[in-house]
Amino acid sequence: MSETKVENGKITEYMGKRVFDFMRWRKPAAAISIILLLASIAALAMNGLKFGLDFTGGTQIEVGYEQAPRIEDVRQQLAGAGYEGASVVRFGSDTEILIKLPPSVAEAQTQISARDEQATQSIGDKVVAVLDQASAGDVTLRRVEMVGPQIGEELRDDGGLGMLFALVVVMAYVALRFQYKFSIGAVAALAHDVIIVLGFFALLKLDFDLTVLAAVLAVIGYSLNDTIVVADRIRENFRKVRKAEPEEIINISISQTLGRTFMTSFTTLLVLWALQFFGGELIHNFSLALIVGVVVGTYSSVYVAANVLMAMHITKEDLMPPVKEGSELEEMP
């Protein structure tokens, strides 16, 4: 059985499997990636991320009722008056309620932006007025105070540095196991995916809370996983397939792993769709970030990592197991 089928000077079938000419579209794909990246960066620069209650802290309001209210009702009354995203819990007894409001919501609804005690107090008064009107019993304001963020500032400070360090170590590992051109490809794909997910959140002004942060971290894992699987096959084929251009080898490799790429993305997306459609408010943004991440990650494992390899002129020699030195060197002109 012949290994390859060639049409118009290009390999169209390899080992009985159709080979798609992915790399033919590599330039338009690069253009799309760059446009998406620029748009994401622009969105991040202009809108910034809308950090949630976890990151920003906010206003904490303690109220007392004459008669125990239903928590669901309180939530609905608040949402009805425009206080979206408020956290409402029973506090100590069933007539006491603790409400936490993100600053953006508090500001938008009460037109009070100054972060001093007086402003905080009047935010509390307004919220109590809403609840008092909605319920039959008397609602009294027990206490209102500013609360700081749930996660430390050190997370933000160290986070960036940590990510850089992680990238460097991943690059080193990939360079060691594969070749440095692969490590640049892998990190480029990773950065591509994360920036686009962040850009998506900035563009649509969606709440960026701890669950979304976790989703972004999961996207990192997913993107790396996907890229390495494709890279692994490219390496294998560079060593195995004779008489083929690097472009063709990359095409063969991507075609061979395509089934797996789609299957994994599909099962992951199945879970995410379920969370997105049936999961309710809390995991909505979590699943949304991941859906964007998985789609972009699947695309980038085909077009970003491989594209970088092409751009850096990857050759067979780059991936051949190291041969005895000396004898090789002498033959070189």
Partner 1 sequence: MNRYPLWKYLLILAVVGLGFLYAAPNLYKPDPAVQISGQSSAMVVGENVLDKARKALDEAGIEYFGGEVGDKAILLRLKSIEEQLPAKRAIQQALGHSDYVVALNLASTTPEWLSNLGASPMKLGLDLAGGVHFLMEVDTNTIVRTNMDGYLQDVKAKLRAAKARYRSVDLVDDREIVARFRDEELRDLGMSTMRKEFPQLQLVEAGSGSNLEIRASLAEQEIKQLEDYAVTQNLTTLRNRVNELGVAEPIVQRQGANRIVVELPGVQDTAEAKRIIGKTANLEYRMEARPDALVTNKEYFEYRNEQQRQLRGGAWLERKVIIKGDRVTDARVGYDESGFPQVNITLDSRGGELMHRATWKNVGRSMGTLFIESRFVPETTTDAEGNEVVVQRRTDDKKIISLATVQSALGRQFRITGLDSPAEAQELALLLRAGALAAPMYFVEERVIGPSLGADNIKVGVTSVQIGLLAVLVCMLLFYRVFGLAANIALAVNLILLVAVMSILGATLTLPGIAGIVLTVGMAVDANVLIFSRIREELRNGMPPQSAISAGFDNAFSTIVDANITTLIVAVILYAIGSGPVQGFAVTLSIGILTSMFSAIMGTRALINLFYGGRRVQKLWI
Decide if 117 contacts 91 (C-beta within 8 A).
no
Torsion from C-alpha of 176, 304, 27, 240, nearest 10 degrees? 50
Single out the segment in contact with partner 1 by CB under 8 A; choices: 23-31, 127-135, 244-252, 284-292: 284-292
Residue with Cβ nearer partner 1 (119 or 218): 218
Using rule CB under 8 A, residue 127 touches partner 1: no
Residue 81 gets which letter from DSSP?
T
Site membership for partner 1, residue 2 (CB under 8 A) = no
Please report how close the Cβ of residue 220 comes to partner 1 at its closest, in angstroms: 6
Ramachandran assignment for 304, one of left (phi > 0), alpha (psi -120 to 50 degrees), beta (any other): alpha
CB of 243 to partner 1, least distance (A): 19
Among 203, 283, 310, 312, binds partner 1 (CB under 8 A): 283
List of E strands, the chain: 4-7, 10-14, 17-18, 50-51, 58-65, 87-91, 93-101, 139-147, 207-208
Considering the complex, state which of residue 9 and residue 322 has its C-beta at the smaller distance from partner 1.
Answer: 322
Choosing from 4, 12, 60, 122, the residue that interacts with partner 1 (CB under 8 A) is: 60
**17, 233 contact by CB (below 8 A):** no
Residues 300-329 that bind partner 1 (CB under 8 A): none
Nearest to 318 by CA among 226, 244, 231, 239: 239
Q: Confirm if 47 and 276 have CB atoms less than 8 A apart.
A: no
| Between 84 and 232, CB nearer to partner 1 | 232
Asked whether position 29 contacts partner 1 by CB under 8 A, the answer is no
| Contact letters for partner 1, residues 183-222 (x by CB under 8 A) | ---x-----------------------xx-xx--xx-xxx
Residues in the chain: 333
CA-to-CA distance for 306 and 34, rounded, in angstroms? 15
- For the chain, the first-to-last Cα distance in angstroms comes to 38
From candidates 35, 38, 66, 93, binder to partner 1 by CB under 8 A: 93
Contacts to partner 1 from residues 63-82, by CB under 8 A: 68, 71-72, 75
Buried b (16+ CB within 10 A) or exposed e, 101-130: bbbbbbbebbebeeeeeebbeebbebbbeb
Contact 100, 64 (CB under 8 A): no
The one-letter amino acid at 84:
E
215-244 positions binding partner 1, by CB under 8 A = 217-218, 220-222, 224-225, 228-229, 232-233
* Size, binding site for partner 1 by CB under 8 A: 83
Quote the least distance from Cβ 237 to partner 1, whole Å. 12
- Shortest gap between Cβ of 211 and partner 1 (angstroms)? 4
Find the shortest distance in angstroms from Cβ 113 to partner 1.
19
Q: Which stretch binds partner 1 (CB under 8 A): 23-31, 89-97, 101-109, 319-327?
A: 89-97
Q: Is 279 in the site for partner 1 (CB under 8 A)?
A: yes
Contact letters (x/-) for partner 1, 238-277, by CB under 8 A? ------------------xx-xx--xx-xxx-xxxxxx-x
Q: State the minimum distance, in angstroms, from the CB of residue 286 to partner 1.
A: 6
Q: How far apart are CA 63 and CA 44, in angstroms?
A: 37
Is residue 174 within the footprint of partner 1 (CB under 8 A)?
yes
Give the residue with the Cβ less far from partner 1, 15 or 31.
15
* Spatial separation of the C-alpha atoms in residues 120 and 148, rounded to whole Å: 13
